[in-house]
């Protein structure tokens, strides 16, 4: 007679309680110090048991002393995990900072600070940078999160959410552009500079997909070197991303206080339309989890091919394909359940290590500091807050959960790329919104760039 995994877990817990009771009553005894050791093992830095964390730090220190921190994936996973979860713990324990996304802020900007002032060993920074640029591990993370979150969604909620998010995005972008420009003018900046060099870059989709093509077009129209324009717009993008992280954390706090505004990661309540699909909450088998991981990788490879053929960004192409597959019931419930487990693993185990790597490799402390003057700070703050606020109220008006709708708009003001979307959504504890955030950042960013280039061409 076989027993289920749930029954097995119950039996295991009963046996453990029996052993503990027997130990306390003197029926039998554990080896000396066993209970104390178990208590120590229950202490964690992030997901890492404290003794394991200590061993990792000691070994990494020895390797650094010998200058032999290689790019071996096992060493790099240990390194990024130890550093990432350390930063997250620091951010979570600082009063005040904790309420505005401290774990995410510290995980990104503390390593950027340490790199800028050369407090991190050059061998360490070089190893992380080589690993990051060689493996592009963030794209595996993105594939698993997007595929897992989409396959876990209710079909009706998915399609309705995709259609509806363009309304708060469009309205929010227009109002934020107007309010942000007027704010810059009130602080003595010209309307031209505020709009084209601060407001538009914030909503352009980041650096790679936003600032670079935007400044290339600016350079051709204005006959100014692209590098000169790029240096002016990047600080606004970096500071805008920091404000977006803080807004996301505050939205999460708001959702905890006012449950009626909180979809807890759902953009739209399927029960307002047709009945929601039943969700399989049973434990996924190992083979289904592994298969779901391969499905996510396959989708991303198809996205890369689509990018080569038609120029559509690989994550967006992958997103559309997964949505199509979900809607036509091409994936079995067992694989969907496996994908949910894959998503859960990556979101809990890999987020802060990736954020630390982003801080080391792609976040510029100098660019952040360059944006710190009163006019820039207030203009950027007002632009991002306006975008977020409009998303909240317009989303509520069209039937979306206000917190989730506002978060999608907030992602529109991030630095772009999957890493910074991860930072914003992690701050709000809603990584399952990644598919909608990709649409906000990439597609809406492309529309913003196009409109700005056309307008600049007309007035120049």
Element (H, E) at 44: strand 44-45
Give the residue among 123, 131, 114, 135 at the shortest CA–CA distance from 63. 123
Residue-by-residue pLDDT tens, the chain, 460 positions: 444 444 444 444 555 454 545 444 444 455 555 677 778 888 888 889 999 999 999 998 888 888 777 778 888 999 999 999 999 999 888 888 887 888 888 888 899 899 999 998 888 888 888 888 888 887 888 788 878 878 877 777 677 777 788 889 889 999 999 999 999 999 999 999 999 989 988 888 766 566 777 887 888 888 887 777 877 887 888 888 889 989 999 999 999 888 888 888 887 765 444 434 444 545 678 888 889 889 889 988 988 898 888 877 777 788 788 888 888 888 888 888 888 888 888 878 888 898 898 888 877 888 778 778 889 899 999 999 999 999 999 999 988 889 999 998 888 877 655 555 778 888 888 888 877 887 777 777 777 888 888 888 888 7
Q: Domain span at residue 445?
A: 136-459
Residue 11 resides in a domain: no
Residue 269 resides in a domain: yes
| Residue tagged 């876990």 (tokens) | 152
* Phi and psi angles of residue 48, each rounded to the nearest 5 degrees, phi first: -95, 125
Residue 289 resides in a domain: yes
Encoded tokens for 10: 């119950």
How many Å separate Cα 317 from the centre of its chain?
19
Instruction: Give residues with Cβ within 8 angstroms of 136, minimum separation 6.
Output: none
Query: Bridge partners of 48?
Result: 45
Encoded tokens for 171: 């309205």
Residue 304 resides in a domain: yes
Residue 64 resides in a domain: no
Structural domains of the chain, count = 1
Give the residue among 199, 206, 205 at the shortest CA–CA distance from 184. 199
| Residue tagged 């600070």 (tokens) | 113
How many Å separate Cα 316 from the centre of its chain?
15
Count of beta carbons in the 10 Å neighbourhood of residue 170: 14
| Residue tagged 């994550």 (tokens) | 315
Residue 124 resides in a domain: no
* Phi and psi angles of residue 363, each rounded to the nearest 5 degrees, phi first: -100, 125
Residue 74 resides in a domain: no
């Amino acid at each position: 007679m076989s027993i289920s995994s749930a029954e097995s877990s119950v039996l295991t817990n009963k046996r453990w309680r029996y052993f503990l009771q027997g130990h306390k009553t003197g029926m039998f005894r554990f080896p000396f110090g066993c209970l104390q050791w178990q208590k120590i093992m229950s202490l964690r830095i992030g997901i890492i048991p404290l003794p394991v964390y200590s061993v990792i730090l000691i070994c990494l220190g020895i390797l650094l002393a010998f200058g032999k921190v290689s790019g071996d994936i096992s060493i790099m996973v240990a390194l990024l995990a130890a550093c990432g979860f350390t930063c997250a713990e620091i951010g979570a324990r600082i009063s005040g900072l904790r309420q505005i996304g401290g774990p995410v802020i510290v995980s990104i900007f503390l390593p950027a600070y340490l790199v800028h002032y050369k407090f991190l060993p050059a061998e360490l920074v070089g190893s992380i940078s080589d690993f990051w640029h060689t493996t592009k591990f963030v794209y595996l993370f993105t594939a698993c999160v997007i595929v897992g979150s989409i396959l876990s969604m209710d079909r009706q909620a998915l399609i309705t959410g995709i259609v509806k998010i363009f309304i708060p995005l469009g309205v929010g972008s227009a109002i934020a552009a107007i309010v942000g420009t007027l704010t810059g003018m009130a602080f003595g900046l010209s309307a031209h500079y505020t709009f084209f060099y601060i407001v538009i870059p914030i909503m352009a989709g980041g650096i790679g997909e936003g600032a670079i093509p935007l400044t290339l077009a600016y350079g051709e129209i204005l006959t100014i070197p692209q590098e000169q324009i790029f240096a002016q717009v990047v600080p606004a993008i970096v500071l805008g991303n920091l404000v977006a992280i803080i807004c996301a954390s505050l939205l999460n706090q708001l959702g905890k206080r006012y449950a009626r505004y909180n979809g807890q990661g759902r953009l739209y309540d399927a029960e307002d339309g047709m009945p929601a699909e039943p969700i399989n909450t049973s434990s996924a088998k190992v083979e289904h989890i592994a298969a779901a991981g391969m499905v996510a990788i396959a989708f991303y490879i198809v996205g890369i091919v689509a990018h080569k053929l038609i120029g559509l960004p690989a994550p967006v192409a992958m997103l559309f394909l997964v949505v199509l597959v979900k809607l036509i019931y091409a994936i079995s419930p067992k694989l969907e359940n496996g994908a949910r487990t894959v998503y859960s693993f990556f979101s809990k185990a890999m987020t802060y290590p990736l954020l630390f790597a982003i801080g080391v490799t792609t976040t510029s402390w100098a660019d952040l500091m360059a944006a710190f003057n009163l006019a820039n700070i207030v203009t950027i703050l007002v632009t991002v807050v306006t975008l977020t606020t409009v998303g909240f109220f317009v989303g509520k008006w069209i039937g979306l959960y206000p917190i989730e709708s506002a978060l999608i708009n907030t992602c529109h003001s991030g630095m772009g790329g999957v890493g910074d979307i991860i930072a914003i959504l992690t701050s709000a504890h809603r990584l399952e919104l990644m598919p909608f955030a990709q649409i906000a950042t990439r597609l809406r960013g492309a529309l913003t760039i196009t409109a700005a280039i056309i307008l600049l061409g007309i007035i120049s």
